[in-house]
Amino acid sequence: MAVLAESGSNPDVDLLYDINGLAKTAPGWFDRLMAFVGEYGLLLAMVLLVLWCWWSVRRKGGEEAASSVAALVWAPLAAGLAVLVNVPIRGFVERPRPFHDHQGLDVLVSGKTDFSFVSDHATITMALGVGLFVAHRRFGIVGIGLALLEGFCRVFMGVHYPTDVVGGLALGTAVVLLLSPLAAALLTPLMRAVERSPRAGWLVRPRPAAGGRDRDTRPPGARTPAETEERDLAA
């Protein structure tokens, strides 16, 4: 079995104590807030960010709508795939949670009985963040920032080593970027087909206004320049 950071003199462990030590000096309400944010809040925020990005891309429409929506669909798929890839990694490394091997940590959540390397939370949030970046740069920057905050929270909570987080961030990034060309090749034609669908097309771009694009929205009695010129010539 491979076990990482067994010694307290290891920089990984030193950084663990430094970051987790902040929980010892923080008020109780702040620790509870960080525990909720690190366990559930940031995951929910990432999901909402993906939905917000989808709504923005869909409302904008345009020729690139299908490819952008395809990239957004790939983001959660990549996050799920990265977690599956992590399963054999955890089984191979078999690294215990830090509170099993190191005394004095302030553990903010209980019930963590699985292995520590790599962090699923860091993997999922970074995969979503990088996937967002592929689809939309501004949303992606926000998503990557949230993923970094997630990694900090996991160490602050005392449930992961810093290298668990780094491994998760790297894994999520690698799965998204390495498989992004293949995902785009498969998902973009699918999203274009959805876009052409009369029932599901709204998932890619907004429905046209009633009456279509050629609907006359001029006020009653108003004339186009061509109609005015024709009227003057007739007179």
Instruction: Map out the domains of the chain as residue ranges.
Output: 11-203
pLDDT for residue 166 is more than 90: yes
User: In which band, very low, low, confident or very high, does the pLDDT at 64 lie, cut at 50, 70 and 90?
Assistant: confident
What is the model's pTM? 0.81
pLDDT for residue 173 is more than 90: yes
Question: Helix crossing, 162-196 with 65-93: angle to 10°?
Answer: 150
Helix (H, G, I), strand (E, B) or coil at 105: coil
The mean pLDDT value of the chain amounts to 84
Fold of 11-203: Vanadium-containing Chloroperoxidase; domain 1 (1.20.144)
Query: What is the average pLDDT across 46-70?
Result: 85
Q: Higher model confidence: residue 212 or residue 175?
A: 175
Positive or negative: CA dihedral 9, 12, 15, 17: negative
User: Mind giving me the DSSP string for 135-153?
Assistant: H-HHHHHHHHHHHHHHHHH
